[in-house]
Amino acid sequence: MTLKNRYDFVLLFDVKDGNPNGDPDAGNLPRVDAETGLGLMTDVALKRKVRNFVSMTRDQSEVTESLNGDKKRFEIYVKEKAILNNQNKRAYVGIGKPELLEGEDKKRKGGNAVEEARQWMCKNFYDVRTFGAVMSTGINCGQVRGPVQLTFARSINPIVALEHSITRMAVATEVEAEKQFGDNRTMGRKFTVPYGLYVAHGFISAHLANQTDFGEDDLELLWQALESMFEHDRSAARGEMATRGLYVFKHNSELGNAPAHSLFARIQPKLKNENSIVRDFSDYTVMVDEADLPQGVTLQRIVG
């Protein structure tokens, strides 16, 4: 079933003694706004966790019939070590036109077949029909503008990035061992945020969803992923991360009934004590203004 409603949502999550999203341009330090000291996490990092959750919970080879009778799968297009043009080739085989893969000109000028290939990619890859993709880098499957968009996450208060020295009681090679006369120690560095509460905003367009075949079943899977993705993304580097709030504003029309920014302003995490050192989610209170919602807008608390 295609979407008939616009959605805007607020995602709250926190990190304790971990690095939520290292910056490769800064030696993998936690990302931070240099002017305000607020922590940052990219939309790309959040989408990666959604992709991983879908890949883990859905049988990639299983063909599912959606509510409107279409057949679609939950494969992931952008994944580790993927070769995207090889994925694109599958679309031309899938639509029964593999001959268009022969010759450079035919690869780039598939005519109507490009649109058919684009639709095939949307039906088979969850992240394509959800977030969109540029699939014209060689084997041309067109471009998809995804109905689900996320902002950077930003911490509510400034974060402190701590640097720790760590020791490994081993070395990688015999040469290193000989240099250390058998001591076999390797020194390293680790970066953590003692605590940070982050907020990200999301938008779901019913108009774009109908173009990519993003339906109600895909939407339900997205909510599940945002609620549980940190539970299945544990690592020594990330410390403790958890979804603390997922607040969904549902409009009763495709175009929407209120500006997103006015709805987002109704979710306000606040410190209980402005002068305290923040180390836990219990140091915050989340104010949710549900009074006098705009006509045609309802609020659903999936988490929080």
Query: What does the pLDDT read at residue 111?
Result: 65
Query: Looking at the predicted structure, is the pLDDT value of residue 281 above 80?
Result: yes
Give the dihedral sign, CA 156/157/158/159.
negative
Query: Looking at the predicted structure, is the pLDDT value of residue 107 above 50?
Result: no
Bridge-based pairing of strands 297-303 and 22-23 is: unpaired
Q: Where are the alpha helices (DSSP H) in the chain?
A: 43-57, 84-94, 104-108, 112-124, 126-131, 174-179, 206-212, 216-228, 260-264
Which phi and psi (to 5°) does residue 141 adopt? -115, 20
Question: Using alpha carbons only, what angle is made at residue 63 by residues 98 and 225, rounded to the nearest 5 degrees?
Answer: 115
Query: Looking at the predicted structure, is the pLDDT value of residue 68 above 80?
Result: no
Query: What does the pLDDT read at residue 103?
Result: 62
Question: DSSP 3-state assignment of 201?
Answer: strand
Find out whether 92 and 101 touch, Cβ atoms under 8 Å. Answer: yes
Per residue in 111-138, pLDDT (tens digit) is 689 999 999 999 999 999 999 999 998 8
